[in-house]
Chains A and B, each alone.
Chain A
Amino acid sequence: MVKTTDVLYYAVHVGELRSIIQWQTWHQAVHERRPDQEAPSLTICFEFLDKTSRSFSAVIQELHPELLVPIALFYLILRGLDTIEDDMTISLEEKTPLLRDFHNYVEKEGWNYAGSGPTEKDRELLVQFQNVTEEFRKVKPAYREIIKDITLKMGNGMADFCQNVEHNIDVVNTIKDYDLYCHYVAGLVGNGLTRLFVESGLANPVLLDRPHLQESMGLFLQKTNIIRDIKEDLDDKRRFWPKEIWSKYVNNFEDLCKPENREAALNCSSEMVLNSLNHADQCLFYLAGLKEQSVFNFAAIPQSMAIATLELVFRNPKMFEKNIKITKGEACRIMMQSTQNLKLVCEVFREFTRKIHKKNTPRDPNFLKISIACGKIEQFIETIYPSQDPKSIIQEPAAPIDPTSKEAKDQAAAAESKSDLVYMLIAVFGTLFLISCIMFGVAYAFGARFDVAFSELTRGKLSKPTDAGAAQSIIHKYDRGEL
């Protein structure tokens, strides 16, 4: 449904409207799903995928056929796990074993769970989870092992977290705790996906040797979402911002959203943004290891969205008032740029990094650190795509210039603009000279005594005589030849 506010927005943001139209008319999926050849249970799985995730569903469905089903099921399994973890109506005694054994349930024929609270939005997925388990049993054993392993680790991490929450309200105390929490909910996903990509032969196996890159892929997304969702999480009594950071700015976590603390809250969010921004260059590095287009798109789109979101929340007071998100038009433009190659993704990163840098202010206590983080991203992009090509600089004088080549044309254009500049300067100074002549001429016609003025100037009298009488006497002296 189209809202009036949207119509107004896109009436003044024509560029964004253009992006939406272009994305919807020109975007072609790299691979297409074949619903006609799917088992009914798989079709149900994809329906759930659409319902549970708006942003991920589309990119997952365009994945290479080899990974399409494993990754879709991987997503649904983690979503199921997440739904149980989030559900406050399930007691800890029931929840903990569910989370810790979830990796076994996913293979159990006909397993499902109806104990979720009635208002839980993904309750239905668990109620009909037998469709997921049925399909999961058909997945290649190698992929199944990877997914089960991640489910086991994540389930245990979540169970630990839930037990801590039960005993203590501030679970995420230090930045280390924060990183650990993000590791369980997102870093592990990065690890699992990398193993799936490499197992299927669609990514460079070197990625397996770089666990910190996989970790960064997950953490960059998770941390950015945690920053953006501050208001929503606070309203739901969830807190993920580490105490180590927020306690520097406010006394109580709830104070972050109070209007009187806006400046402190903004500075606090800057430190959160900085913490997230430090993962950005490693995400680009990771993306360089993905060869297959659909896998690249799948991994790159969320990263580009994350850097755009980070820019949106950076020093934006609205984040403490309501839930903010990037506009659809901007999302479409980013998706278009992120579904081609790494160079364009780097452009997206550079664009938003510079926007963040523009908003950075010296009054922010994290000013220089943010500046350094932005500089690091720029430097990294420069190392993989140098703006200067050393070969071309060395070869330049030797290579004969082809008059039809782009360089020759550029040179001709440059020479032309240079001569244009010269002509313009001549015109400007010519006009000034002419006007000066006219002014002097008019002054002369009205009887100005330039000869007197000049000789007085050479004698070091720079200021004009104090009154008309003094001026007159000077002229008299001059005319009588007394000087």
Chain B
Amino acid sequence: MATSVLITGGAGFLGSAIVDAVQEQHPEWVVTVLDLAFPSVRKPNIIYKSCDITNSVSLNTLIDSIMPDVIIHSAGLVPELAFRYGREQRDRVFDVNVNGTRNMLAAAKRSGVKAFVWTGSCTAITDDMRHQYRNIDERPSVLFGPGDYQLIPSVHACIAKGETPFVVGDGENLWDVTYVGNIADAHVLAVENLLSTGSAAGEAIFISNEEPIPFRDFCLEVWKNFGHFPAYQVYIPVSLAYVVGYLAEGVTWVTGTPTTLSRGSVFDACGIRYCTGEKARKILGYKPRVGIEEGIRISCIVSLRKFLNPSILP
């Protein structure tokens, strides 16, 4: 019987990239997508099921009816950038990302899946989960790609706002931004591993493009693809930005609007975000297929089309 794969969050940004990768590399697998809502244009040969993973009863019923061999759990709530540093969505985020994952694990255990791959995040540094069956926790770093509704659009938005000349910090902090297609590849590799040798079982593996660059340079490259070059550069010391962020948070607190600038965003923009890809290379045989330069180019072309023609926006 053909391997049955359940992909949660399969209608989302990362999830749909995983669906593509699975279909491309294993067309014989039966793919079921589980999500809250579905895209208007559905992919062929995919079974779509609607379910809220925070509801364990309906989740269990659904899993029992599908009886998947493999679960790729990539559903998760990533608050929009503006809300990322606020508190409004915190409970909901916690509910989906923690309780939802707990429900998924319980359901997986009950139905006896062979492999469970969970998309974590590079922001999770500790992992205290112990499971009986084969599972992998994959931790991608910051993601971007075509259809990305967060990173590239917000970097692009800086052009219109005239914010491009400003550099917070020294502009030397390295980020390992990862192309979404590469992460999807890593998920397929993880499933293949679990179904064969299982050497990756129980491991938390960091996935990245292995091309750390200063975050500033990522932005400059995106702007370059949109034909924009900052005319000059102004360096803002981290401490000053931090104070401004603090004040902005105060304003937010008073007015109740989402923040654009806060201590959290300053911390992220000046932070160092990269990891070693050695484990992924050794255990999964993972190698980023799309380089960051090519990845940015593809993503910007897709974004550019959207900006020029807003009617095709989802």
> Which residues on A are within 8 Å of B, measured CB to CB?
354, 357, 360, 362-363, 367-369, 371-372, 375-376, 378-379, 383
30 A-B pairs within 8 Å (CB atoms) are namely A354-B172, A357-B172, A357-B214, A362-B220, A362-B223, A362-B224, A362-B229, A363-B224, A363-B229, A367-B217, A367-B220, A367-B221, A368-B221, A368-B292, A368-B293, A371-B217, A371-B221, A372-B211, A372-B212, A372-B292, A372-B293, A375-B174, A375-B211, A375-B213, A375-B214, A375-B274, A376-B212, A378-B174, A379-B174, A379-B274
Q: Closest residue of chain A to B221, judged by CB? A: A368
- Which residues does chain A contribute within 8 Å of B211, judged by CB atoms? 372, 375-376
Q: Does B276 contact A (CB under 8 A)?
A: yes
Q: Distance (Å) between the CB of B1 and the closest chain A CB?
A: 45
Which one, A369, A376, A378, contacts B293 given CB within 8 A?
A369
Contact with A along B154-172 (1 / 0, CB 8 A): 0000000000000000001
Q: Is the CB of B224 within 8 A of A367?
A: yes
Give 4 nearest A-B pairs by CB, closest first: A375-B212, A371-B217, A362-B220, A371-B213
Q: Which of B180-200 contact A (CB under 8 A)?
A: none
Q: How far is the CB of A347 from chain B (nearest CB, A)?
A: 15
The CA of A357 and the CA of B220, in the complex, are separated in Å by 13
Q: Which residue of A lies closest to B230 (CB)?
A: A362
Q: How far is the CA of A367 from the CA of B229 in the complex (A)?
A: 12
Q: Which residues of B contact A376 (CB under 8 A)?
A: 211-212
A383 to B221 CA separation, bound complex (whole angstroms): 26
Known: A362-B221, A362-B224. A379 touches B172 (CB 8 A): no
Q: How many A-B pairs fall under 8 Å by CB? A: 46
Whether B229 lies near A371 (C-beta < 8 A) is no
Residue of B nearest to A388 (CB): B272
Whether B296 is near chain A, meaning CB under 8 Å from some CB there, is yes
Question: Across the interface, which residues of A come within 8 angstroms of B213, CB to CB?
Answer: 368, 371-372, 375
Q: How far is the CA of A298 from the CA of B224 in the complex (A)?
A: 43
Interface centre among A357, A360, A368 (most CB of B within 10 A): A368
B274: chain A residues within 8 A (beta carbon): 375, 379
Q: What separation, in Å, do the CA atoms of A35 and B149 have in the docked complex? A: 73
**13 new A-B contacts at CB < 8 Å, known A362-B229, A379-B274:** A354-B172, A357-B172, A362-B220, A367-B220, A369-B293, A371-B214, A371-B221, A372-B211, A375-B174, A376-B211, A378-B174, A379-B174, A379-B212
B291 to chain A, nearest CB (A): 8
B side interface size, CB within 8 A: 17
Q: A426 → chain B, closest Cβ, in Å? A: 15
B interface vs A, CB < 8 Å? 172, 174, 211-214, 217, 220-221, 223-224, 229, 274, 276, 292-293, 296
A372 to B217 alpha-carbon distance, docked (Å): 9
Compute how far the CA of A363 lies from the CA of B214 in the bound complex, rounded to whole angstroms: 17
Q: Which residues of A contact B220 (CB under 8 A)?
A: 362, 367
* List of B residues within 8 angstroms of A379 by Cβ: 174, 212, 274
Q: Closest CB-CB distance, A389 to chain B, in whole Å?
A: 15
- Alpha-carbon separation in the docked complex, A392 to B58 (Å): 47
Contacts of A363 in B (CB 8 A): 224, 229
Query: Which chain B residues border A378 with CB–CB below 8 Å?
Result: 172, 174, 212
Please give, as numbers and ranges, the residues of chain A lying within 8 Å of B221 by CB-CB distance: 362, 367-368, 371
Which residues from chain A contact B276 at a C-beta distance below 8 Å? Answer: 383
- CA of A354 to CA of B171, assembled, Å: 10
- Determine how close the nearest CB of chain A comes to the CB of B54; give it in whole angstroms: 34
A360 to B296, CA, bound (A): 18
| A368 touches which of B172, B229, B296 (Cβ 8 Å) | B296
Q: In the complex, what residues of A have CB within 8 A of residue B212's CB?
A: 372, 375-376, 378-379
Select from chain B the residue with minimum beta-carbon distance to A354.
B172
* Least distance between A6 CB and chain B CB atoms (Å): 33
Which residues of the other chain, B, contact A368 by a CB distance below 8 angstroms? 213, 217, 221, 292-293, 296
Q: How far is B121's CA from A349's CA once the two chains are assembled, in angstroms?
A: 32
In the bound complex, residues from chain A placing their C-beta under 8 Å from that of B292 are 368, 372
Q: List, in ascending order, chain B residues with CB within 8 A of A369's CB.
A: 293
B11 to chain A, nearest CB (A): 31
Q: In the bound complex, what is the Cα–Cα distance between A375 and B210 (angstroms)?
A: 10
Which residues of A sit under 8 angstroms from B217, Cβ to Cβ?
360, 367-368, 371
B293 neighbours in A (Cβ, 8 Å): 368-369, 372
Of chain A, the residue at the smallest CB distance from B297 is A368
Complex contacts, A367 vs chain B, CB 8 Å: 217, 220-221, 224
Rounded to whole angstroms, the CA-CA distance of A378 and B276 in the bound complex is 13
The docked-state distance in angstroms from the alpha carbon of A371 to that of B274 is 14
Residue of A363, A376, A379 contacting most chain B CB atoms (<10 Å): A379
Q: Which residues of B contact A360 (CB under 8 A)?
A: 217
Q: State the Cβ distance, B26 to closest chain A Cβ, in Å.
A: 31
User: From residue A54, how far is it (CB to closest CB) to chain B in Å?
Assistant: 35
By beta carbon, the residue of chain A nearest B294 is A368
Bound complex: CA A379 to CA B213 (Å): 10
Q: How far is the CA of A375 from the CA of B214 in the complex (A)?
A: 7
The minimal Cβ–Cβ distance linking A384 to chain B, given in whole angstroms, is: 12
Question: Which of A354, A363, A367, A375 has its CB near the most chain B CB atoms (within 10 A)?
Answer: A375
Chain A contacts for B229, CB-based, 8 A: 362-363
Residues of B within 8 A of A375 (CB): 174, 211-214, 274
Q: In chain B, what residue has the closest Cβ to A383?
A: B276
Q: How far is the CA of A362 from the CA of B229 in the complex (A)?
A: 7
The smallest C-beta distance from B263 to any residue of chain A, in angstroms, reads: 15
Q: How far is the CB of B141 from chain A (nearest CB, A)?
A: 13
Min CB gap A360→B, angstroms: 8
Residues of B close to A362: CB separation below 8 A: 220-221, 223-224, 229
- Which residues in A have their C-beta under 8 angstroms from that of B224? 362-363, 367
Expressed in whole angstroms, the minimum distance between the Cβ of A378 and any Cβ of chain B is: 6
Alpha-carbon separation in the docked complex, A360 to B214 (Å): 12
CB distance from A181 to the nearest CB of B (A): 27
Residue in B closest to A360 when the chains form the complex, CB atoms: B217
- Shortest C-beta distance, A287 to chain B (Å), equals 21
With a cutoff of 8 Å between Cβ atoms, the chain A residues found around residue B172 in the complex are 354, 357, 378
Nearest chain B CB to A46 CB, angstrom units: 45
Considering the chains assembled together, what is the distance between the CA atoms of A238 and B224 in angstroms? Answer: 36
Query: When chains A and B are docked, how far (Å) is the Cα of A391 from the Cα of B217?
Result: 32
Which residues from A are CB-within-8-Å of B214?
357, 371, 375
Q: How far is the CA of A362 from the CA of B224 in the complex (A)?
A: 7
State how many angstroms separate the Cβ of B125 from the closest Cβ of chain A. 11
- How far apart are the CA atoms of A383 and B174 in the complex, in Å? 14
- Shortest C-beta distance, B219 to chain A (Å), equals 9
Q: Which of B172, B274, B276 has the most CB of A within 10 A?
A: B172
For the complex, what is the distance from the CA of A375 to the CA of B220, rounded to whole Å? 15
Nearest residue (CB) in B for A425 is B243
**Shortest beta-carbon distance, A29 to chain B, in Å?**
37
Chain A positions within 8 Å of B223 at CB level: 362
Report the separation of the CA atoms of residues A367 and B220 in the bound assembly, to the nearest whole angstrom. 9
User: Separation in Å of the B155 CB from the closest CB of chain A?
Assistant: 13
Q: How far is the CB of B212 from chain A (nearest CB, A)?
A: 4
In the bound complex, how far is the Cα of B60 from the Cα of A173, in angstroms? 64
Q: Which residue of A lies closest to B293 (CB)?
A: A368
Q: How far is the CA of A362 from the CA of B225 in the complex (A)?
A: 10
